[in-house]
Amino acid sequence: MKHNVKAKIITDQSITILTDMEPLTIRQGQPNFANVAKLIQEGNMDEAIDILQTPIADHVARVSEGNITVENGEVMFRGNQIHHVVADKIIQMLESDSQDYLPLVRFVDKLYQNPSQRARNELYDFLSYRALPITESGNVLGYKGVREDHFSCSGNKTTRVISGHVDGQGRIRNQVGDYLEVERSDVDDNRERGCSSGLHVGSFDYAKGFGNITKLVEFNPKDAVSVPSDCEYQKLRVCAYTVLEEYEHEEDIDDAIYGVESHGGGSQIDEMLREEAETFIWMKVKRGDIVTVRDIQKHLDRVIAIDDDGDRWDGECEGMSPNDIIDLVYELGFRMRLNSESISDSVVTS
Report whether pLDDT(102) > 70. Answer: yes
Q: Compute the average pLDDT of residues 17-37.
A: 74
- Cβ-contact 23, 17 below 8 angstroms: yes
Is the model more confident about 328 or about 31?
Answer: 328
Task: Provide the 8-state DSSP code for 256.
Answer: S
| 111-129 pLDDT per residue, tens | 999 999 999 988 888 887 6
> Mean pLDDT in the chain?
79
- Cβ-contact 294, 345 below 8 angstroms: yes
**CA dist 197 → 71, 244, 292, 320 (Å):** 41, 22, 67, 56
pLDDT confidence bin for 161, thresholds 50/70/90: very high
Q: Compute the average pLDDT of residues 318-338.
A: 77
Report whether pLDDT(213) > 70. Answer: yes
**DSSP H helices in the chain:** 33-41, 45-52, 56-63, 84-95, 101-111, 117-129, 204-207, 268-287, 293-305, 322-331
In angstroms, the CA 11 to CA 107 distance is: 32
| 89-100 pLDDT per residue, tens | 777 666 555 566
Q: Compute the average pLDDT of residues 168-176.
A: 93
Q: Among 50, 115, 27, 111, which residue's Cα sits nearest to residue 75?
A: 111
The predicted pLDDT at position 276 comes to 80
The predicted pLDDT at position 239 comes to 96
Report whether pLDDT(260) > 90. Answer: no
In angstroms, the CA 269 to CA 289 distance is: 27
Q: Which amino acid is at 278?
A: E
pTM: 0.59
Q: Compute the average pLDDT of residues 72-77.
A: 78
